[in-house]
């Protein structure tokens, strides 16, 4: 195994690709690796098979008196994921299916314990597991919906792609803003974050007629977020601020800046 493949296999890109969490550039990179290197393709197929087996293990027969509970749970899952399911690729469906089956299986186990004279501690543990799986499903649906919104703005002809690369204290910062003056929407794809001194954070600002308007503190993870759209914004700027953010930007700690076109505003 060459060094390039080794580093790729040690990263989380293949797992993120399988679950649908990669950016367009990352997706292209992963698919190139799968096509080029047999060991990467084999690992990808192995991970797909593991998800299938996981789903099969959790698909236990339902007790006769739990039909109504199952139907209610299925209806809830369908309603919460219908918006995101339209544009998500097939490999995302495995993640949703595995989570849904785990949730239903846990629900059945919880009902069985309640119907029986089980121990209170065991009931509490099952209840916590159920809640954890439910929250995981909801979080995945939020992530998929966010990706769908990003796809829509990327396809829009008026969308500007603004690269914000860091410097100074945030030399490793890599972010891409997608700004659309016609649709009046904006997103930020945080690809890589720097290691900041303790007690500090990154904050993004829009320059509107010479005034720096706060667009929020950046999360401490690589993720796609929606930015507040500001009419007549002339540039986007990122500064290093005390943890929690500042009311006004620390100009001496400006680490990234890029102008915006205002032609469509």
What are the structural domain ranges in the chain? 3-153, 158-259
- Give the single-character DSSP code of 169: G
Average model confidence (pLDDT) across the chain? 76
The confidence score (pLDDT) of residue 74 equals 45
Q: Does residue 112 have a pLDDT over 70?
A: no
Q: Which of 62-71, 114-123, 222-231 has the highest mean pLDDT?
A: 222-231
How many helices and strands (H and E) does the chain possess? 7, 8
CB atoms within 10 A of CB 185: 19
CATH 1.10.3110 fits 158-259, yes or no: no
CA dist., res. 24 & res. 29, Å (int): 9
Q: CA nearest 126: which of 114, 110, 111, 108?
A: 110
The answer to which of 38-47, 75-84, 195-204 has the lowest mean pLDDT is 75-84
- Give the single-character DSSP code of 68: H
Q: Does residue 149 have a pLDDT over 80?
A: no
**% residues pLDDT > 70 (the chain):** 63
The confidence score (pLDDT) of residue 82 equals 45
pTM for the model stands at 0.48
What values do phi and psi take at 32, rounded to 5? -65, -40
For residue 20, the SS3 value is: coil
Q: What is the mean pLDDT of residues 125-140?
A: 69
Angle of helix 38-58 relative to helix 3-10, nearest 10 degrees? Answer: 20
The confidence score (pLDDT) of residue 106 equals 52
Higher pLDDT, 215 or 263: 215
CA dist., res. 258 & res. 226, Å (int): 18
The confidence score (pLDDT) of residue 222 equals 83
| Residue 211's pLDDT band (cuts 50, 70, 90) | very high
* Number of residues in the chain: 265
């Amino acid at each position: 195994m060459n060094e390039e493949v080794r580093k790729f296999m040690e990263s989380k890109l293949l797992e993120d690709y399988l679950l649908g969490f990669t950016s367009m550039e990352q997706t292209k990179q992963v698919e190139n690796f799968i096509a080029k290197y047999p060991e990467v393709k084999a690992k990808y197929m192995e991970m797909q098979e593991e998800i299938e087996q996981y789903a099969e293990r959790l698909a236990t027969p339902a007790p006769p008196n739990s039909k109504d509970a199952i139907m209610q749970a299925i209806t809830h899952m369908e309603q919460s994921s219908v918006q995101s399911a339209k544009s998500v690729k097939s490999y995302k469906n495995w993640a949703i299916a595995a989570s849904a089956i785990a949730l239903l299986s846990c629900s059945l186990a919880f009902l069985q314990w309640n119907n029986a004279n089980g121990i209170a501690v065991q009931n509490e543990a099952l209840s916590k597991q159920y809640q954890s799986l439910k929250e995981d499903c909801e979080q995945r649906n939020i992530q998929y919906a966010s990706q769908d919104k990003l796809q829509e703005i990327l396809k829009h002809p008026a969308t500007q792609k603004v690269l914000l690369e860091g410097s100074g204290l945030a030399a490793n910062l890599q972010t891409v803003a997608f700004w659309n003056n016609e649709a009046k929407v904006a997103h930020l794809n945080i690809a890589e974050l720097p290691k900041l001194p303790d007690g500090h954070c990154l904050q993004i600002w829009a320059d509107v007629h010479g005034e720096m308007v706060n667009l929020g503190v950046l999360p401490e993870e690589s993720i796609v977020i929606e930015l507040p759209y500001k009419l007549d914004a002339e540039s986007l700027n990122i500064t290093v601020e005390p943890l929690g953010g500042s009311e006004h930007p620390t100009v001496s700690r400006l680490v990234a800046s890029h102008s915006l076109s205002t032609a469509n505003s």
